[in-house]
Structure formats: C-alpha cells, structure tokens
Structure 1
Amino acid sequence: MAVEVVGLLGIILMLILMFLRVPIAIAMVVPTFLGILYLKDWNTLTTAVETIIWNHSFSYTLSTIPMFVLMGELLYVCGISGELFATFRAWLSRLRGGLAMATIGSSALFAAASGSSLANTATMGVIASKEMINSGYNKSLTGGSIIAGGTLGVLIPPSTLFIIYGMMTEQSIGQLLVAGIIPGILLMVFYLVTVYIVVLIKPRLAPSIKEKVSWKEKFISLKTTIWILLLFACVVGGMYVGLFNPTEAAGVGAFLTLIIALLRRKLTLISFIEALSSTLKTTGFLFAIIIMAFLLNYFLIITKIPFLLSDFLNGLALPKFALFGIIILMYILLGAIMDSLAMVVVTLPIILPLIISMDMDLIWFGVIIVLVMELAMISPPIGMNCFVLRGAAPDLSLEDIFKGAAIFMIPIVLLIAILYLFPEIALYLPNNMY
C-alpha cells in the first residue's frame, strides 16, 4: 500500500475514533502507532516514541502551561471573577443591554489572568446567567454574551493555546502572547457593538434597568480591577520589555496570584488544594494531547500527506486570499464536528507547509488559528463552550445557547477578515518587543 494511502487511512481512523468519543490523545495515538508499524517496524516505533516523548516532555517551555492554568484557578477560588462582574455592572447596567456588556467586559478582564476559555465560560455562566435572566433578559442573548465573553480567554494573554501553537510551530511564545493583545481588545469591542446593535434592533431582548449607582459607588467598585491590571502589567508587561521570558513570566504570575489570594484572605487550605488538583487535571489533559500531536506529526511526515496537500493547493494557482479562505472554511466546517483543540493539533502539521509556501507570517497566523478555535468553541453541534455553559447554567437550554452563539460568530469572522487585510494589527506589538 502506498505511504500516502496509509496516511489518509490513518487520518480517517483517527476521525472515526474522535466521533466515537474516544479521548483525543488515544484517538491520535492509535492510528499513529499502527501506521508507523505498517510502514516501518517495531524498532522505529519505539525509537520515535522514546525520542519524541523524552525531548518534548522535558521541554522547559511546557512548564509555562501549568503556571498559567494555576493563575486562573487561584483567581477563581479567591472570588475576583464575581467582583469583576459587579464592577462592570455598576458602570454599564443602566444601558440597554448593559448586563450583557458587563458580562463581556468582565470576561475580558478575567481572561487577562485566567488564560482559559472554558474556565471563563463556566465562571461567568454561574455569576451572570441568573442576574440576566432575573432582570428579564432574553435567554439567547444571555447565553450568547456569556460564551462570547468566554472565548476571549484564549485570545487575550496569557493563553495556553498560543503556547501549544508556539511549541508545534517553533515560534516565539512571548511574541505570540503579545500578538493577541490588540486583536483581543478589538474582539471585545466588536462583541460590545454586537450587543448594542442587537438590542437596538430588538429592544425586547434586553429591558432597561432602573437601578441607580452613584459615582462614588462606581469608583469604589474599580478597586477589584486593580489586582488584575497589576497582574497583567507584571506578566505581559515584563515579557514585552524583556524583563523575563514566557516561562519565567508564568512562574512570576502564579506566585503573584498566590500573594493576591492571601492578601484578600479568600484562600483556604481546601480551596488551595482544589486549585492545585484542577490545575493537575487540566495540565495532564493538555500535555497528553501535545505529546501525541508530535507523534502524529512524525507519522504524517513519513506519509508525505502535508507536502502533497501543499503541492496540490499551490498547483491550483489560486490567489493567496482564495487559499486563505479555503483554510478558514475548512476550520469552520471541522469546528462543527470536532473538538477545537483536537482540530488544530491534527490539522496544523498538514497545513503548515502550505502556510510557509504562501509566505504568511507564522506569528500572525497563530492569532488567526486562535480566532478559528474561538469559532469552533461556540459553533453547533460540538461547541465546547456551549456545553460548559449548559452545565454551569441549567436555566439555559442548548437551543437558547446555540441561537445566541450564532450572533457572536459574526464579529469573529469580521475580525479574521480585518486581520487578513491589515496583518500589522496583530504584528505591531510583537515586532516592537525588546
């Protein structure tokens, strides 16, 4: 059997296993092992496994992930997320749609320290859903604004997805994290504008709130944001000015978050153990996927699938924007049927030669990849954020959540188009790092 056919059959088997709900790491490793055994031999397989797992398991860069995950877990247990929502509610509640805007704004600020889309969605789902429903907000707008805000957790640094992408493409993780700042702020603004337009067209979706908050109360509420802004300035600002590298920044961030939790007197021994336990579970899940992705990459290189696809698409002589559109469309379609993280780690080794042949900046493309992952996280029927919100907010049905999510897919697609036309939006900060 030709090596290309073996590679194609391996990909098909992997997709079948994923559709059968086999854990992602196992779904990737089974066809990889079978394919390498068929094409090579047992000694080649064991050598590849030992070499790849050893090299990447002991990568200094990998330690960045648990530190950033721990930051988000500690902030959650010390109650900062709820206070952030209260702050934005104080400032925005009198606007029509203000609670939806407050949800998005507080999610953006929480994202500046959590680095996790799922944690962002679950946290705001518990806090904001009851407030909005009790205030008379439409359930679709409620669900849509919560999961839209949750997606900001993977774009605004720190972001574990940028770290995974950086490891797989051998790009600067510091530059990738900084590249997400301006697009993250833009996406937050687009979300806010989306809420404003939606409630302008259909005022019944969001009632006016008569609650009055004095200016004194508004300014007092800002004290909670100081913790997050200081943390963001130390972690991201430290990387930007060259004070420390991403791995050191993650360690500093985790330590500062622990200090903040202790100063606020919200951290107990039980909550600290819970934060560590959750960090270990998340880290183990991500590490397994990362290591298996490198093994899968080795298998695909043997089968020459990535290079054949690159040569085929280049041979079509299509304009660059058309090829880019095909890639984005592929991710949108895959995102509807695959887990977002699996989608990227499986496809990235295949399309990377094409991206390089198109002379596209890999830092810029990292931002694009994260944006299409955001689309996948909220698109039916697999959108992970939607199911997380359903679990965190039982009052919202999946139908309501998916309806709301559809509205907020528009600003993500719009931002992807803008970044294609003006890539310097994402590249300005990384190109000016020290």
Structure 2
Amino acid sequence: MTPVVIGLIGIGCLFVLLILRTPVAFAMLAVGFFGYWGIEGWRSAGGVLLTETYSAVGNYNLIIVPMFVLLGNIAGVAGFSRGLYDAAFAWVGRLKGGLASASVIGCAIFAAVSGSSVATAVTLGRVALPEMKRLGYAQSLSTGSIAAGGTLGFLIPPSTGFVLYAILTEESIGRLFMAGILPGILMTLLFMGAIWIFCTLNPEAGPPGEKLPRSERKRIYGDAFPLIAIIVISIGGIYTGIFTPVEASGIGAALVILVAIARRRLSFADFREAVLETLSTSAMLYTIVIGANVLNPFFAVTRIPAALGEGLGALGFGAYGTLLVIILAYIVLGMFMDGLSMLVITIPIVYPVILSLGFDPIWFGVVAVIVIEMGMITPPVGLNVFVVRGVAGDDVPLTTVFRGVFPFLLAMILGLLLIIVFPGIATFLPNTMFG
C-alpha cells in the first residue's frame, strides 16, 4: 500500500474510534503511533512517541492554558460573573431584549477571562437564565442567546482554540489573540442586532427591563471594574509588548486571585475547587496536544496534506472556491465533532493547503475558529446547546434551544462573510501590533 492509502485508512480508523466514543486524545495517539509504525517501523514510531510527547508537555507557551483557565475559574467561584452581567444589564437592559443582549455582552467579557466556550455558557447561564425566566422571556431567546454568546469564548482572547492553533501551526499566539478581538466585537454586535430584530418582530419574547437609577448604575459599574481592568491589563499588555502572552496569563491569574481575596470572595474551599477544575481541564488539553503531536508526523509521512492540496487544485475552483469547500467541510464535521477535536485533527491537514493558496495563516485561524464556533450550536452535537439545556433544566426541550440559536447562526454566517470580504477585520490589530 502507498503511504497515501495508509493515511486514508488511518483517518478512517480515527473517525471510527471517535464514533465509538474514544477520547479524542487517545484516538489520535493510537492512530498516529500505529500508523507511523506501519510505514516507518516500530523503532521510529517509538522515537516519535517519546520525542513528541516530551516536546508537547515541555512547550513553554502551553503555560498559557492553565493560567488563563485558573483565571476564569477563580472569577467564576468568586462571583465576578454576576458583576459582569449586572453591569451589562445596567448598560443595555432597558432596550428590547435587553436581558438577552446583556447576556451576550456578559459572555463576551467573561470570554476574555475564561477562554472557554463551555465555561462561559455555564457561568453566565446560571446567572442570566433565572433572570430572563422571571421577566417572561421566551425560552428560545433566553437559551439561544446564552448558547450563542458562549461560543465567543472560543474567539475572544485568551482563546484555547487560538493557543492550540498556534502550537499546531507554529504561528504567534500574541498575533492570534489580537486577531480575535475585532471579530469578537463584531460577533457580539451582530448577536445583539439579531436579538433586537427578533424582539422587534415579537415584542413579547424579550420585554425591556426597568431603567436603573444613576447611583445604582455607578455602584454596579464599580463592582465590575476590577475584573474588566484585569482583562485590559492582560490583553493590553500583550498588544503594547509590555509582556508576552505567557506573562500576561500569569499576571492575570495573580491579579484576579488578589482582587478576590481583597473583596473577601475567595474561601479556601473555593480556591481548592478552582485549582482542581483547572488541573482537570489543563490535563485534558495537554493530552490532546500530545495526541496531535504524535498524529502530525504520521500525516506528514503519508503526504495526505500534499495530496489534498493537489486534489483541491485539480478541481479548478480557485483560491476562494477551495476555501468555500474547506469551510463547508468544517461545517459538516462540526455537526458531529466537538470544536477542539475538529481543530487538532484538521489543521495539520488543511493548513498546508491554506498556505499554498496564499491566504494569511493568522486570518485563516480566525475563520477556522468562527466555523468551529458554529459547530458548537448546530445539531446534532451542538455542545453549547446541550450545556445550556442542562443549566436551564429539563423543562426546556432541546428543540427549543436549537430553534433559539438559529438567528444567531445567521448572524455568525454574516460575520464570517464580512471577515472573508474584509480580512482587515482580523489582521488589522496583529499588523499594527508588530508593525
């Protein structure tokens, strides 16, 4: 058998293992190791397993993951998410669908702390869903806004998606973080626009909230200010070059712990819970990176990326036609796979094709993350949909949540088209950052 055929068999085995609910990290590890063994022999495969495992866990840049995850977990157990939601409500709560818009804004800000879509959806869902239920919001709107808003955790820095993309492609984490800011703001505004249109057509679905007195708004803004300041310091420090992304993650985690202690919102039990959750999440992500590092050499020796590039080129679709094919493939995969799995499996195959087409790899990182975000709220997997449904309770049918995310899917498609047509939305900040 030719290496390409062995590679295709390996990809088939990988999907079979995933269908059998094998953890993605171990599925990649098994396919990568045994596939490499089949081509290069067991001694070479053993060498790849040892060296790639060591290089993965020894990667200095991966420190970003546990630090920013700890930052988000501390903010969650300390109740800072409530302050973010209250501040967003004080700002836009009196508009049509104000609570839903406040939820989206709260998700966007908390995403800049946690870097995780699931954590964002869970944390803000617990705060916002009871409030929207109390004011009589339609279940589809309330759950849909949280599920869609949670996806911003994969786009707005510090995104774990960007960290993994940077490690897989050897691109700059700092540039990718900066590239996610304007698209993240764009998606937030488009989500709010979708809510406004939905509530204009159906006013009873999202009645406006009461206008708060100025003194109350000032108190709420003051309560949310420390966490927002930490976000600005962390991300702003990366942009200005004061410190690296790794240093920013450590500084952000330290600051949020100090603020939580100063406000007497962090007990030892809460701190222990946050640390244990951080260890669990980080171990999962590190294992995924190890699996990806073992799988990548297998793909390299099979020449699957080169064969894919030649096959797509033979179709004669041109650069943007080929990009459309890749995006459609991502959308289909997103219906059956979670975002991180899809990212680590596909990027080693797709990335060389993107480079050969002349696209900016930083820009494509944003495009890929947005398409993966869409998979988080599309059936039948739709991880964020299941998470929000779990927070909302069994009285909310799953079909209601999927129906609620439909306007936001349209908004994401519009945002994706704008970023493809105007790539500067993603590349402007990285280019000014590094001149």
- The question of a shared fold, defined as TM-score above 0.5 by the shorter chain, is answered with yes
Supply the distance in 2 between the matched residues of 1:204 and 1:194 (Cα, whole angstroms).
15
Q: How does 1:314-325 map to 2 (within 5 A)?
A: 314-325=313-324
1:200 is matched with 200
Note closer, same or farther for the CA distance 1:265–1:275 as it changes in structure 2 (3 Å cut).
same
Is 2:398 the counterpart of 1:398? yes
Shift of 1:111: 1.4
Supply the distance in 2 between the matched residues of 1:208 and 1:339 (Cα, whole angstroms).
35
1:27 is matched with 27
2:326 is matched with 327
1:379 is matched with 378
1:301 is matched with 300
Shift of 1:134: 2.0
Runs of 4+ in structure 1 over 6 Å off: none
SS in 2 for 1:432: helix
Is 2:134 the counterpart of 1:134? yes
Supply the distance in 2 between the matched residues of 1:19 and 1:129 (Cα, whole angstroms).
33
1:313 is matched with 312
Letter in 1 for 2:48: A
SS in 2 for 1:14: helix
Letter in 1 for 2:242: L
Letter in 1 for 2:333: L
1:60 is matched with 60
SS in 2 for 1:51: helix
Note closer, same or farther for the CA distance 1:376–1:18 as it changes in structure 2 (3 Å cut).
same
Shift of 1:59: 1.0
SS in 2 for 1:379: coil
2:48 is matched with 48
Q: Write out per-residue CA displacement over residues 211-266 of structure 1, whole angstroms, 9 at most, x where no aligned residue.
A: 34212212221113311221122111111111111111111111111111111110
Q: How does 1:155-304 map to 2 (within 5 A)?
A: 155-209=155-209, 211-304=210-303
Shift of 1:93: 2.6
Gaps of 5+ in 1: none
| Higher mean C-alpha deviation, range 385-394 or range 73-82 | 385-394
User: Would you say the 8 A contact 1:78–1:264 is kept in 2?
Assistant: no
Q: Write out per-residue CA displacement over residues 259-309 of structure 1, whole angstroms, 9 at most, x where no aligned residue.
A: 111111100100000000000000000111111011111111111111100
TM-score, normalised with respect to structure 2: 0.97
SS in 2 for 1:378: coil
State the superposition RMSD in angstroms: 1.2
| Higher mean C-alpha deviation, range 91-100 or range 10-19 | 91-100
| Higher mean C-alpha deviation, range 397-406 or range 85-94 | 85-94
User: Would you say the 8 A contact 2:98–2:207 is kept in 1?
Assistant: no
Letter in 1 for 2:95: L
1:415 is matched with 415
User: Would you say the 8 A contact 1:81–1:124 is kept in 2?
Assistant: yes
Q: Write out per-residue CA displacement over residues 152-206 of structure 1, whole angstroms, 9 at most, x where no aligned residue.
A: 1121111111111001110110111011111111110000000001111122322
Q: Write out per-residue CA displacement over residues 73-105 of structure 1, whole angstroms, 9 at most, x where no aligned residue.
A: 010011010122122223333222111111111
Supply the distance in 2 between the matched residues of 1:18 and 1:252 (Cα, whole angstroms).
37
2:335 is matched with 336
Supply the distance in 1 between the matched residues of 2:16 and 2:44 (Cα, whole angstroms).
26
User: Would you say the 8 A contact 2:29–2:290 is kept in 1?
Assistant: no
Supply the distance in 1 between the matched residues of 2:397 and 2:367 (Cα, whole angstroms).
30
Letter in 2 for 1:330: A
SS in 1 for 2:376: helix
1:75 is matched with 75
Letter in 1 for 2:44: T
TM-score, normalised with respect to structure 1: 0.97
SS in 1 for 2:380: coil
Q: How many residues align?
A: 433
Supply the distance in 2 between the matched residues of 1:254 and 1:208 (Cα, whole angstroms).
36
Q: How does 1:95-114 map to 2 (within 5 A)?
A: 95-114=95-114
Supply the distance in 1 between the matched residues of 2:427 and 2:238 (Cα, whole angstroms).
16
Q: Percent identity?
A: 41
Shift of 1:33: 2.3
Shift of 1:26: 1.5
Q: Write out per-residue CA displacement over residues 384-406 of structure 1, whole angstroms, 9 at most, x where no aligned residue.
A: 11111122221432111111122
Letter in 1 for 2:116: S
User: Would you say the 8 A contact 2:292–2:345 is kept in 1?
Assistant: yes
Supply the distance in 2 between the matched residues of 1:74 and 1:248 (Cα, whole angstroms).
18
SS in 2 for 1:16: helix
User: Would you say the 8 A contact 1:110–1:228 is kept in 2?
Assistant: no
Gaps of 5+ in 2: none
Note closer, same or farther for the CA distance 1:350–1:97 as it changes in structure 2 (3 Å cut).
same
User: Would you say the 8 A contact 2:100–2:145 is kept in 1?
Assistant: yes
Shift of 1:363: 0.8
Letter in 2 for 1:16: V
User: Would you say the 8 A contact 1:112–1:228 is kept in 2?
Assistant: no
SS in 2 for 1:389: helix
Supply the distance in 1 between the matched residues of 2:199 and 2:232 (Cα, whole angstroms).
34
1:5 is matched with 5
Letter in 2 for 1:352: Y
Shift of 1:316: 2.0
Supply the distance in 2 between the matched residues of 1:337 and 1:187 (Cα, whole angstroms).
24
User: Would you say the 8 A contact 1:143–1:401 is kept in 2?
Assistant: yes
User: Would you say the 8 A contact 2:33–2:49 is kept in 1?
Assistant: no
Q: How does 1:118-157 map to 2 (within 5 A)?
A: 118-157=118-157
Supply the distance in 1 between the matched residues of 2:419 and 2:207 (Cα, whole angstroms).
35
Shift of 1:208: 4.2
Shift of 1:40: 2.1
User: Would you say the 8 A contact 1:143–1:404 is kept in 2?
Assistant: yes
